[in-house]
Amino acid sequence: MSTNNKPWLNTYPDDVPEFVDIDQYANINEMFVKPFELYADNTAFVNMGHSLTYRDLNEKSDAFAAYLQNDLRPKRRSNRADDAKPSAISNHHSWRVEGRACCG
């Protein structure tokens, strides 16, 4: 595989494929939940010298989701572009909430 147009592929470990086989998941919710279970103790995110494991990210995402759903009660949006968020935690949360609403 040529990585000239995709230089980030050079940083992938040998056992990480270029593409995700989405057919292995029953629905979009499972596609986002399963990796967090499989890689719970692996580093998911590093920023400014701080890191979060997938477990940490999942727990913080759950707490953020609970806050939004119980305290803010946001309106459902019809366009994902309207829901763009700048942090990994909020992005993961928004996929999980929408995945639960449609598929969970």
Residue 49 tokens, joined: 């010298």
Higher pLDDT, 46 or 41: 41
Residue partners of 92: CB distance under 8 A and separation at least 6: 32, 57, 58, 61
- From 25-34, 47-56, 64-73, 88-97, the region with the lowest mean pLDDT: 88-97
Q: What is the rounded average pLDDT of the residues 54-59?
A: 91
What is the pTM for the complete model shown?
0.55
As a whole number, mean pLDDT of residues 70-96 equals 61
pLDDT in the model for residue 3: 63
Name the pLDDT band for 86 (thresholds 50, 70, 90).
very low
